[in-house]
Amino acid sequence: MLKQALKGEPTPNLVEEPVPGSIASATATEKDSGEKADRQFSQDELRMSWLQFAEQQKTNEPRMYSILITNIPEKREDSVLKVRLANRSQETHFNEIKNRLVNFLHRELQNSKIDIELEVIESENTENKLYTTKDKYDYLVQKNPALASMKQQLNLDFD
C-alpha cells in the first residue's frame, strides 16, 4: 500500500470500520443515537423555569426565594445566563444553590450547556448613610435651616 500511495495510485481505506457486535461498534452507535441535541430556549421559557425553581425554594429557603424572584437572569450567547445581584451576601446565598439550579434548568429546558454567570452590582450610596444622631440632625438642618433655631429655642441636646 505504501508503494501505491507513493506512486499516486488510489489506496484502500485505512480507517477500519467497527465490526458489528464489537465494543467499538457499540460505542459508535451510542455516540450517534445517545447524544441529544441541546434544545434552544427563549427568554420566556427561561423565566418560567426560573420562577418554578424559585417556588420550590419558597417554604424551606425564603431568603433564596426572594433573591431568585427579584433577579431574573438574562440569556446570553451560548446558553450562558447572566444574573445581577445587589451585594456579596446575595452572591454567597446564591452559590449555595447554584448547582441544584443549573441541574434543574438542564432538565427543564433540555439544554446541557446552560451555565450561570454572576455579577455583583454594589451600591454607591455608602458615603451618604446617616449613622449617628448628629449626622441625621446635620442632614435635616441642611434641608430645613429653621430646625437649628428651633433646637436652640427649645434648648435641645443630643444624648
Going along the chain from its start, the domains and CATH numbers come out as 43-120 (3.30.300), 125-159 (no CATH)
- The DSSP code for 86 is S
- Res 136: pLDDT: 86
Q: How far apart are CA 116 and CA 94, in angstroms?
A: 11
Length of the chain: 159
At residue 53, does pLDDT exceed 90? Answer: yes
| pLDDT, tens digit (0-9, with 9 covering 90-100), for 77-88 | 888 999 999 999
Mean pLDDT, rounded, for 62-83: 91
Contact between residue 94 and residue 85 where contact means Cβ atoms under 8 Å apart: yes
Residue 154: exposure state from Cβ atoms within 10 A (0-12, 13-18, ≥19) = exposed
Tell which residue, 117, 43, 39, has the closest CA to residue 81: 117
- Res 84: pLDDT: 94
Mean pLDDT, rounded, for 114-136: 80
Mean pLDDT, rounded, for 97-123: 92
| Bridge partner list, 95 | none
